[in-house]
């Protein structure tokens, strides 16, 4: 098999350097194109739905603390094993109580599996992305810091936080009846574009 | 008194050229940025206009590192040789009628001499740094300059034959005042050869093998830092400007233009030099680097025969038409 | 006065750099000294009003030939590859020969007298520019010697090519 790297040229094209001229014309055209770069600190990027940024634990409006029920699903699913939960059983109420909830954000790969599997939508990857720090301790999130992250995010969102729904809280491709109660969220219309949030299985059910 | 006036003129020219060098780097970054759909420098001043000044201050105050095993005297002298040779060749360039520091009869040869000297700076920098990358860069530069100096000299012989002089002012005058009288039309082959040799002489893309970043870190300038590194760049940009000026004077009719600008006689000269500089930058944004053997074969097998043929052709035409 | 001082400066520099060029240990430094020497030779030509020669001196000698010398110096490992036997075995014999050579050269100096003026007195050269005068003489009166010199150079170039070109091994061609 012969791979031809350059097309055949006739004599006139060789003399006039037609290929070089093509290239030059292209760069000249690009000179007047609008630059696609953004002056970052002044101009923030527009964040799309489903952006996976800083970790946070949703602060429950009623109890004032995390919604986490210590089901350990996020710990199990995490591919980089950066979530650590300690809990004990409360015999009287018959439920688990979270002692500590830590995320090593430096090890996180931002896959978003944890927020997808969480049955009560306690965990979220917020839209905050500017949290670089000079030491490792600042990027190790314990429960207090995760709740504080949520507060910071709520402040950023303003009143929109009350109706905030992360796309990962409502996994695509899973029928409504197989989801936990908390995850049966009303999905805004713009999410239900074909194949984006609501998958084929759901369509088949309907 | 005469000497004093000359001295002041030299100072003014030096200041203007240094300003041009600074802003040539700015426009190079800006134009290449926009050609790559970026913005280029935007931070210092409005649209980064003060960037070259910031760069200058930074490189001036940086540490001047001399490698331990380097040949210290040669190492320190090399960038200065480069810059001096380039600055000296500015002396014979006529910017407009009478706007020339030294109107000597061998102006063109003088520029050749100086441009071949400036290659010494590169070669010695490569050798004195005592590092493999710089040495390879120096060797490449040496071979490249020897090869392309020949092609460039031969390409300008046609111009010398037509004008009958080596004096740059007289070359411009010989082309006549009309806009169509430029030597680019009768000497189109020579211009083609000159243009390519000009790119190679100034070590610009696509012939920037002496400082090929992808292979040789930064070529001959690898071991340099701070102001000495900046001096190499100044020399490179002054070299670009001198070569653009030579092209303007010998092929584009110097300061002659479609109409005369009385307030600023060098107007057309400056416009043409800027156009040349833009093409330099434009080519850098477009073309990839040549391979070394390709560079050599273009120089010896294409450009030199073309230039020689052009000389013979010009001689015949001049002999038969008178 | 200025010309005289300039001549003195050039002469001193030529002698000084010439001496340095043969005494310096580092061959690259020696070549650099020769470069400085060539510059001052060009300066001497300028004093004589031979601007074309001065420019050619720098372009050809400084710009091309010395660069080639440097090229060779860079590529040859001086410590290992250049080992030559002494041409004259006894040091004293060498000294005597060199002193004798110098004495005989200096003794020739008084016999040097200025030649005839010819067709080109200084004023005429300046009027026609040096380049033109040189070209006129070379391509009219001295065309035959010029062509002979060209032929000799051509032979040297061909000789260089023959020496440099190795025979291509025939075994590689058809195997």
| Cα–Cα–Cα angle for B206, B211, B216, rounded to 5 degrees | 115
Instruction: Tell me, yes or no, whether A62 and A160 share the same domain.
Output: yes
- Which element (helix H / strand E) includes A87? strand A83-90
Q: Can you give the residue range of the structural domain that contains B16?
A: 1-61
Cβ contact A35–B37 (<8 Å): yes
Residue B166 near residue C131 (C-beta atoms within 8 A):
yes
Instruction: Tell me, yes or no, whether A113 and A76 share the same domain.
Output: yes
Chains C and A touch (3+ CB pairs under 8 A): no
Instruction: Tell me, yes or no, whether B47 and B81 share the same domain.
Output: no
Instruction: Tell me, yes or no, whether A72 and A148 share the same domain.
Output: yes
**Interval B59-86: pLDDT, tens:** 889 888 888 888 888 888 889 988 998 8
Instruction: Tell me, yes or no, whether B265 and B164 share the same domain.
Output: yes
**CA A176 to mean position of chain CA atoms:** 22
Coil/strand/helix, residue A192: coil
Chain C: residue nearest B127 by CA?
A: C74
Tokens of B112: 């050749």
Tokens of C68: 């080639």
- Which element (helix H / strand E) includes B136? helix B132-163
Q: Identify whether A33 is part of a domain.
A: no
Chain C: residue nearest B140 by CA?
A: C71
Interface of B with A in 37-66 (CB under 8 A): 37-39, 42
Instruction: Tell me, yes or no, whether A103 and A188 share the same domain.
Output: no
Q: Tokens 């040096």 identify what position?
A: C130
Q: What is the pLDDT along chain C (175 residues), one digit of tens a residue?
A: 788 888 899 899 999 999 888 888 778 888 888 988 988 888 888 887 778 888 888 888 888 888 888 888 877 766 655 566 667 778 888 889 989 999 999 988 887 777 666 666 777 777 777 778 788 888 888 889 999 999 999 999 899 888 877 766 555 544 4
Q: Identify whether B9 is part of a domain.
A: yes
Contacts of A27 in chain B (CB under 8 A): 35, 282, 285-286
d(CA A76, CA A114): 9
Residues near A74 by Cβ (< 8 Å), separated by ≥ 6? Answer: A83, A85, A113, A114, A115, A117, A118, A123
- Which element (helix H / strand E) includes C128? helix C122-128
Domain limits, chain C: 2-79+119-165
Comparing CB atoms, the residue among A27, A33, A39 nearest residue B42 is A39
Q: How far is B39 from chain A (nearest CA, A)?
A: 6
Q: Identify whether B66 is part of a domain.
A: no
Q: Is B260 left (phi over 0), alpha (psi -120 to 50) or beta?
A: beta
Instruction: Tell me, yes or no, whether A160 and A175 share the same domain.
Output: no
Give the chains touching A; criterion: ≥3 Cβ pairs < 8 Å: B
Q: Identify whether A193 is part of a domain.
A: yes
**Interface residue B105 vs chain C (CB under 8 A):** yes
Q: How far is C98 from chain B (nearest CA, A)?
A: 32
> Does A195 have pLDDT greater than 50?
no
What CATH number does the domain located at C2-79+119-165 have? 1.20.120.1200
Closest CA relative to residue C54, chosen from B128, B94, B237, B114 = B114
Instruction: Tell me, yes or no, whether A105 and A140 share the same domain.
Output: yes
Give the full edge-to-edge strand order of the sheet including A140-141: A83-90, A95-104, A140-141
Residue B48 near residue B26 (C-beta atoms within 8 A):
yes
Domain count, chain B: 2
Closest CA relative to residue C136, chosen from C153, C116, C119, C149 = C119
> Does A55 have pLDDT greater than 60?
yes
Interface of A with B (CB under 8 A): 20, 23-24, 26-28, 30-37, 39
Instruction: Tell me, yes or no, whether A93 and A64 share the same domain.
Output: yes
Give how far Cα B261 sits from Cα of B12, B170, B245, B265, Å: 21, 20, 19, 6
Closest CA relative to residue C141, chosen from C118, C170, C166 = C118
| Cα–Cα–Cα angle for C86, C90, C94, rounded to 5 degrees | 80
Q: Identify whether B67 is part of a domain.
A: no
Cβ contact C62–B116 (<8 Å): yes
Instruction: Tell me, yes or no, whether B271 and B128 share the same domain.
Output: yes
Residues near C109 by Cβ (< 8 Å), separated by ≥ 6? Answer: none
Q: Which of C29, C55, C73, C127 to mutate to test the interface with B (most CBs of B within 10 A)?
A: C55
Instruction: Tell me, yes or no, whether A142 and A180 share the same domain.
Output: no
Give the chains touching C; criterion: ≥3 Cβ pairs < 8 Å: B
Q: Identify whether B30 is part of a domain.
A: yes
Contacts of B31 in chain A (CB under 8 A): 31
Q: Can you give the residue range of the structural domain that contains A67?
A: 55-164
**Among B61, B96, B111, where does a domain finish?**
B61
Instruction: Tell me, yes or no, whether B131 and B252 share the same domain.
Output: yes
Instruction: Tell me, yes or no, whether B214 and B82 share the same domain.
Output: yes
């Amino acid at each position: 098999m012969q791979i031809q790297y350059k097309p055949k040229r006739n004599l006139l094209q060789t003399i006039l350097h037609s290929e070089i001229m093509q290239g030059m014309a292209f760069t000249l055209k690009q000179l007047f194109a609008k630059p696609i770069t953004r002056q970052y600190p002044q101009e923030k990027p527009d964040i799309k739905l489903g952006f996976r940024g800083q970790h946070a634990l949703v602060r429950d409006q009623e109890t004032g603390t995390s919604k986490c029920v210590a089901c350990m699903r996020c710990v199990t699913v995490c591919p980089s094993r950066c979530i650590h939960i300690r809990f004990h059983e409360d015999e009287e109420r018959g439920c688990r109580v979270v002692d500590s909830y830590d995320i090593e954000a430096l090890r996180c790969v931002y896959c978003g599996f944890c927020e997808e599997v969480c049955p009560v939508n306690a965990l979220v990857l917020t839209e905050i992305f500017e949290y670089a720090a000079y030491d490792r301790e600042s990027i190790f999130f314990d429960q207090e810091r995760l709740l504080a992250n949520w507060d910071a995010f709520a402040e950023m969102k303003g009143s929109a936080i009350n109706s905030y729904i992360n796309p990962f809280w409502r996994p695509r491709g899973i029928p409504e009846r197989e989801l936990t109660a908390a995850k049966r969220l009303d999905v805004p219309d713009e999410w239900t574009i074909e194949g984006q949030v609501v998958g084929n299985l759901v369509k088949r059910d309907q | 008194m005469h000497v004093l006036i000359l001295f002041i003129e030299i100072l003014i020219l030096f200041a203007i050229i240094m300003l041009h060098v600074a802003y040539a780097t700015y426009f190079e970054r800006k134009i290449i940025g926009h050609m790559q759909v970026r913005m280029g420098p935007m931070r210092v001043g409005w649209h980064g206009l003060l960037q070259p000044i910031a760069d200058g201050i930074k490189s001036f105050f940086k540490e001047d590192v001399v490698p331990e095993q380097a040949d210290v005297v040669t190492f320190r002298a090399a960038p200065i040789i480069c810059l001096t040779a380039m600055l000296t060749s500015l002396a014979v360039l006529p910017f407009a009628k009478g706007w020339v520091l030294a109107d000597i009869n061998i102006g063109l040869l003088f520029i050749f001499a100086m441009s071949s000297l400036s290659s010494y700076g590169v070669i010695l920098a490569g050798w004195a740094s005592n590092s493999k990358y710089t040495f390879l860069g120096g060797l490449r530069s040496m071979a490249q300059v020897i090869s392309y100096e020949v092609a460039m000299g031969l390409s300008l012989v046609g111009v010398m034959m037509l004008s009958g002089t080596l004096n740059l002012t007289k070359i411009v005058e010989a082309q006549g005042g009309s806009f169509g009288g430029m030597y680019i039309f009768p000497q189109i082959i020579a211009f083609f050869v000159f243009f390519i040799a000009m790119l190679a002489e100034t070590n610009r893309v696509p012939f920037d093998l002496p400082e090929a970043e992808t292979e040789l870190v930064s070529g001959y300038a690898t071991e340099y830092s701070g102001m000495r590194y900046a001096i190499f760049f100044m020399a490179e940009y002054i070299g670009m400007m001198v070569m653009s000026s030579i092209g303007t004077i010998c092929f584009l009719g110097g300061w002659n233009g479609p109409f005369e600008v009385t307030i600023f006689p060098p107007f057309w000269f400056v416009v043409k030099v800027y156009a040349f500089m833009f093409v330099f930058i434009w080519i850098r944004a477009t073309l990839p680097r040549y391979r070394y053997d390709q560079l050599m074969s273009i120089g010896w097998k294409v450009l030199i025969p073309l230039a020689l043929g052009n000389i013979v052709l010009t001689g015949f035409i001049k002999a038969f038409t008178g | 006065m200025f010309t005289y001082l300039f001549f003195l400066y050039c002469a001193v520099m030529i002698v000084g750099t010439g001496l340095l060029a043969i005494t310096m240990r580092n061959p690259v430094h020696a070549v650099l000294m020769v470069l400085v020497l060539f510059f001052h030779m060009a300066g001497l030509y300028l004093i004589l009003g031979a601007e074309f020669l001065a420019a050619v001196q720098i372009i050809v000698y400084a710009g091309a030939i010395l660069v080639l010398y440097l090229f060779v110096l860079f590529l040859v490992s001086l410590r290992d590859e250049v080992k030559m036997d002494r041409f004259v075995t006894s040091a004293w014999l060498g000294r005597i020969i060199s002193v004798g050579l110098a004495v005989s050269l200096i003794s020739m100096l008084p016999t040097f007298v200025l030649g005839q003026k010819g067709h080109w007195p200084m004023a005429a050269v300046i009027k026609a520019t040096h380049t033109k005068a040189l070209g006129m003489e070379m391509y009219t009166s001295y065309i035959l010697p010029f062509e002979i010199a060209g032929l000799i150079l051509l032979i040297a170039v061909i000789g260089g090519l023959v020496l440099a070109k190795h025979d291509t091994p025939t075994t590689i061609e058809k195997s």
